[in-house]
Structures are given as structure tokens and as C-alpha cells.
Amino acid sequence: MAQAFSRVAIFGKPRADSIREPLSRIISQVQATGLEVLLDAATREAAGLTEFAGHSLAAIGKHADVAVVLGGDGTMLGIARELAPHQVPLIGINHGRLGFMTDIALDQMTEVLGQMLAGDYEIDRRVLLDAEVLRRGSPTFHTRALNDVVVSRGVNGGMVEFTVRVDGVTMYNQRADGVILATPTGSTAYALSANGPILHPSLAGLVLVPVAPQTLSNRPIALPDSCVIEIEITDVRDASAHFDMQTYSQLAPGDVVRARRSRDSATLLHPRGYNYFATLRQKLHWNVMPSESHNRF
């Protein structure tokens, strides 16, 4: 058995339909086991749970032993970035679509959550990126990313032109719809749809994936996560940078997006018996064989 908990933070997907009822069940279950509930203030307001006290992210980061997140992967990404500096582990309950990170099904929530809060769980640590935008050498924007850093063309369309440097050495100059720098966690997100490889979460690596490159021979490349990656905009066309597709920065010619592995990491907790390959089989349907009708010409 791993460590049990005393103070449990609870977060819910904002603006989600029908979220009040499962949130209420989670709160009741936590209280019934004698644990203290720290309900996120924004979740309290969004779900109308005004009978409970709300707590700020800063207070939760300081006092919570674990956080339960009810939502989809996007909700988990945002909370994980905020709580990573405080080393608060997270339990994800799926109230979204795919659920790579929120891996507990809603209909299994009561049984599984009870076991995990009692200390029966698997620990899974995930790499984050520290990313910043530099303009004329000075930082104008800074954030973290758990999935990916994406540089893409702006609202006016057309390819974006950029130079990629790794530890100060030019890797290539490229024109493309964009480029993705993904962590192992993010390798199953946008990078995968752009034909990037899947990286196991335990690998100390990053993957750089071009999106529709003009140079057709340009392919994804895996890099050590000790590298510092810079992406410099070299064309007059507008471009943008996205961090986990949740935070955004408008880029101008000469701007540099710089990213490196963060000193902080996100800790995910899974039910006992969790297996990454089982998740891939389930979420990517690797266990589904083509039907006979699909093999006919």
C-alpha cells in the first residue's frame, strides 16, 4: 500500500453539463471516509455547489495531499500545470471524451476512488516543458506545457517559415503549416495526428514533429529531453504559439519560442494494475481487428 491521504482537493470540468451530481458524489464519498475536502473555488461556482467552501489554487497547492479531477484530458492538463510546482498528485475521473489522462470511468468511480484514497494506487510521473517567447532577446511570455508546444501559421493562412535550433545548433530551416514539440505525454495528442511516434511516458525524450512541411523529406525526430529547443520565426507572415492548446501567444518575425524540460513534473495516480499498453489498446482501438468486409476490394 502507498501513502493514504488526509486533505483531498476536488476539481471539475468548467461549463460541463451534468457535472454537479458526480461532483456531489465525490465530495460525499471523501467526507464519509473522514477526509477533508478542499473544493476548488472556480468549480464551486461553475457547479453551483455553494453549500461548500471554495479554495484558491494557491491554498490547494499549499495544503492538499491529492487532487481529484473530474473532466477530460484538457481539464487535467490545466490543473496539472498549476499544481506541478506544489507536487500535488492527481487522480483523473473521465467526464470527457478520450480520457488518456483521466483514466477512471465514471461508472467505476465510487469503488476505484475509495481504494485509491486509502492508498492503493500506481504512481506515474510525467515530464513538463518550460516555455517562453523571446522578442528581440527579451522574454515576453512564459508558461508550462504538459502535452506540447506548437508553432503554427496565423489567421491569414499560408505556411509559416521558421528555423529550429537544438542547444544553439541549427537543425533545419523549414516552411510548413507548423511544428510540434511534444513530451511523451503529448506524443499521443496532436503530434500523433501529425504522424509523430508514440513515446512511452518513462522515456527521457521529446519529439519534434513538422506539420505538412514543404520539404517532404522532413520527418519527426526524437530528441533527448536535456536539449533546449528554439523555434525562430523567419518570415513576415504572422504566426502563433500554443501551449497545450490552452494558452496562446501571437508571434512576430524574429520571435523565438524556447522550450526545455521543466524542473517540475506532474504526478498522476492510477488504479492498481494500471498498464500503459492497455490504455493504448483501449483508446486507440489497437485490439480491434479489421472486419472481413473491410478486406474486400
**Count of domains forming the chain:** 2
pLDDT at 40 over 80: yes
Q: Active site residue: 17, 65, 73, 264, which one?
A: 73
Which grid cell is 60?
A: 490547494
> 149 versus 287: which is more confidently predicted?
149
> 136 versus 154: which is more confidently predicted?
136
Neighbour count for residue 168 (Cβ, 10 Å): 7
pLDDT at 66 over 90: yes
Q: Tell me: do 95 and 136 sit in the same domain.
A: no
Q: Tell me: do 67 and 114 sit in the same domain.
A: yes
Q: 2 in a domain, yes or no?
A: no
Q: Tell me: do 150 and 256 sit in the same domain.
A: yes
CA distance 49 to 43: 8
Is residue 133 within 8 Å of residue 255, measured between CB atoms? yes
CA distance 122 to 273: 7
Tell me, what's the pLDDT at 86? 97
User: In DSSP terms, which residues pair with 257 in a beta bridge?
Assistant: 133, 231
Neighbour count for residue 202 (Cβ, 10 Å): 12
Q: Tell me: do 86 and 142 sit in the same domain.
A: no
What is the mean pLDDT of the segment spanning 11-17?
A: 86
Q: 99 in a domain, yes or no?
A: yes
Tell me, what's the pLDDT at 237? 80
Q: Give me the percent of the chain exceeding a pLDDT of 70.
A: 96
Q: 280 in a domain, yes or no?
A: no
Q: 209 in a domain, yes or no?
A: yes
Q: Tell me: do 140 and 62 sit in the same domain.
A: no
Q: Return the CATH number at 35.
A: 3.40.50.10330
Q: Tell me: do 138 and 86 sit in the same domain.
A: no
Q: Tell me: do 12 and 108 sit in the same domain.
A: yes
Is residue 125 within 8 Å of residue 9, measured between CB atoms? no
What is the mean pLDDT of the segment spanning 131-141?
A: 96
Q: 227 in a domain, yes or no?
A: yes
66-71/90-94 β-pairing: parallel
The answer to whether residue 73 is catalytic is: yes
Q: 198 in a domain, yes or no?
A: yes
Q: Tell me: do 147 and 62 sit in the same domain.
A: no
Model confidence at 3, in pLDDT bands (50, 70, 90)? low
Tell me, what's the pLDDT at 2? 64
Q: Tell me: do 114 and 141 sit in the same domain.
A: no
pLDDT (tens digit per residue) in 95-123: 977 778 898 999 999 999 999 999 999 99
Candidates 233, 208, 61, 239; CA nearest to 129 is: 208
Is residue 132 within 8 Å of residue 258, measured between CB atoms? yes
Model confidence, pTM: 0.92
Tell me, what's the pLDDT at 30? 96
pLDDT (tens digit per residue) in 229-261: 999 999 878 899 999 998 899 999 999 999 999
Is residue 11 within 8 Å of residue 76, measured between CB atoms? no
Q: Tell me: do 99 and 28 sit in the same domain.
A: yes
CA distance 82 to 4: 22
Q: 26 in a domain, yes or no?
A: yes
Q: Tell me: do 145 and 109 sit in the same domain.
A: no
Q: Tell me: do 93 and 146 sit in the same domain.
A: no
What HEC string does 79-139 produce?
Answer: HHHHHHHHCCCEEEEECCCCCCCCCECHHHHHHHHHHHHCCCEEEEEEEEEEEEEEECCEE
At which of 119, 141, 158 does a domain end?
Answer: 119
Tell me, what's the pLDDT at 282? 87
pLDDT (tens digit per residue) in 270-292: 999 999 999 899 888 887 777 65
Q: What range defines the domain where residue 73 resides?
A: 7-119
Tell me the pLDDT of the chain averaged across its residues. 93
At which of 78, 95, 119 does a domain end?
Answer: 119
Which grid cell is 32?
A: 464519509
At which of 119, 142, 172 does a domain end?
Answer: 119
Q: Return the CATH number at 252.
A: 2.60.200.30
Q: 287 in a domain, yes or no?
A: no
Model confidence at 297, in pLDDT bands (50, 70, 90)? very low
